[in-house]
Structure 1
């Protein structure tokens, strides 16, 4: 024993445990899809090939056996029917040979002859006697008058003295021949064998249940055994010619190409697949789905609350990729939280600086406006006071835009243009001198929002037009109309139309020294970016402005 084990048995078993553990760890370290592929392939492929081969071999042998059986039954049935009709025809013709040259036109003798012929048959057969012209002399009680005898009668087969026909509508097999020798050949014998008699001839017990047996002659078909269920598409009927190839016997065992037992060989791979799929589901569920759900819940919770404490790595039994994703997401979440904190602090600092800058600009503009007001009161001439007032109105307009922008800075909706125009109008009317108090500005304004780069040119255009109107005639009114228009097409911004009507504008092109004012208004109009119409001769300015959504 010691010679067999170089080391102690405990050490050998421990090494095997270590080897098994290493192999397992190696298998676990492989990608999940590769592990699933290995498991399913090893579990399903070999039994599937074995079951498929057994099914093919069994089905092939089953078909061969039934084809041989069908050939044997069809051949035996055709030979039996052919021999039986042959015996019946010979026995009846021998009667005519024995009776000699009797005249069977007499009904009494004819009827006795019919009864004699029926007594010779080993199965029920109906007979009729006709002359060669086809006139019926006498018949048995169940004989069908509709026959298939062709006149003048002539045997169609080279080896038989009688003809055999199928009466499809009557369900009869008919054989006919000339009775006796000359001069008795003037009589024509017709025999009819029913379906039941034919079944007795072929011995019904040799034909399995559910099979089909037919007699066919050209387009006529005489079913002897009808199947209880429709014939299968995979069936292969056996055709045996009989009666000198004038009639074919068709036999179909109507059996499927495989047995029900063989279905077990087909279901076996399905059962194997189900087992492997079940195993695969268990593996996938515990190695992939559950860890993924835990990670997903952690991500959703992090998205709702932003708390990193709720993000936990996946369980140890999860796939390696899932564990790596969980760990990576945890580290990314930590770094992202740090970046978000830094970004929030920087944004808060930036907002504070922006507010401070705007506040100082507003204060400086207010200081400039106050200085202009002081110097305007000290001015001695009306021309100096008018110049100070003109400058002060522009500074006030700039201060109003700056104040509006400062108030709307946190909302992020842009500037309320209707409120801006109203405040400009009030500021302009407040700054008017005594002799300008009758100056009127009418407004018709909808509420719209515009960015700062649109609000500033609008304010300066209004101030320039008001100053020019005051310079021409303070009694001439100004009308400001601002209407909102919906977008004509999808994915295009809404816009508004700004219309300024002033009678003084009609003199803008005629008065000398106004070229600078026209250039200033045109320059600010181009900054609006939309369509514009400057019709000074009609006292009319129009600007199309892109606005912000509500």
Structure 2
């Protein structure tokens, strides 16, 4: 390969001689003459990779072998998994119970068919109910289904009154759920009112165990597998700290160690929702089961897990130590073989950025690829300015094209609105003419929107304040009203920028709300006010100011009266449907109030405006220039 000869900006022989005489230059020259195999970046990187990966590969092989031989599970994760599975089963079972009771209360339940219905529910639930009761409005039981005769009496026995505690039910108008303490575990009492119209005519009362009786579960039920594979114990803990088995028909759980019992008692006192701890080689997981009852799962650490834990600690220490040595070696090698040559190249580039000749001070200590890069950089820098100019010119042309598209779309929409207006003037039917005018207003709103979508400030966004002011003026004029006639317009709008995707539904929401108010809210020459506010709430510690609030209010006759007048005129508009649909497009919450007029409240998060092509090109060029300036500053500080 032929390289160009020395130019007028190359160092003189005296300068080269002085550089070689420096200790570092002389040392580097001797080293690289003796180690010619490391003359390229590739060879140096390969040497570093080999030196780094061989020990890591050895460690990885040892770890893989031990992991294969010591394939044991993690006690903490296993315990938490068991607790989550059991808690989800309890929650699902309680939800099914509540759903069944609500179906009974809303069905045709009476004293004649209650016993049969209760028996069906008991059968479907696999006999987990201690009692199913139909009570009258005063809370007096009329039909009672007792627990199955095959069930142990202690399971459904409680030291708290089951029926008298809710008698009389008096003014209870909503469902109630209570946790009772039974001899074998917590009992859940459900109270579901039976309504006839708006009057409570009775109650469906159900008492069942929170856990499950294993003898009542059918074969194949996954609840039978809880604790079977990992010898876990599942218990229920009430708010007073008392412990019961999750399966009330089994033997009561053995007393817990004192440390674990104190920790569980503390969790019950503070109402902890989740806790995992290890005590006496046993992992305990506490999780909310239902209401004030917590689920406790305990699994003992096996000898294999203890060994795996010790081995894990040893492996971590070994890996950290070896990696530290490797990183130190790689850092020193990279500094000597790569960083120093690249820093000299960076210094030459910084001098060039300051206007000095591009002097790379080439010597044999620099790898071949970097020497080639230095020469290529000289050619590349000459093209950089030309490419930057072309980029900005192309981006400007693209912006002009997009702006022209918006302009043409606006003109076409205005032509369509004019055609609709002309066609409406030739229609004799009042209803048809009014529908044409509604469509015309919507098209005009979109035409006005396209004039605001593409701004000059580098953002493809909409300034809501100026747009809504012009849009409302157009809507008032289209309905034959000025801003200060019998129906006045009040605007209180903050400067908010939104994206084009949000601009279209927002414009149509305002169009529909204002048009509906002008058409229906002020009949018979009634005067009033239409107000539009758009505010950015102040940020707080709990909720940052991201959502904006749009309110459209009129003090007319209200939505109900407006709907009555519209139905009297045999007109059924779709304005409210459109407002709801556009609110969904905005991903906004919509509240409608009808008190002394109509109030629409929309809360949504403005999407960030998109950058235009010109602004992105200018930002890229400015970023490049800023990086060059920072590099110059760092070079001066180093000097």
Structure 1-normalised TM-score?
0.42
Query: Who wins on radius of gyration, i.e. which is larger?
Result: 1
Structure 2-normalised TM-score?
0.37
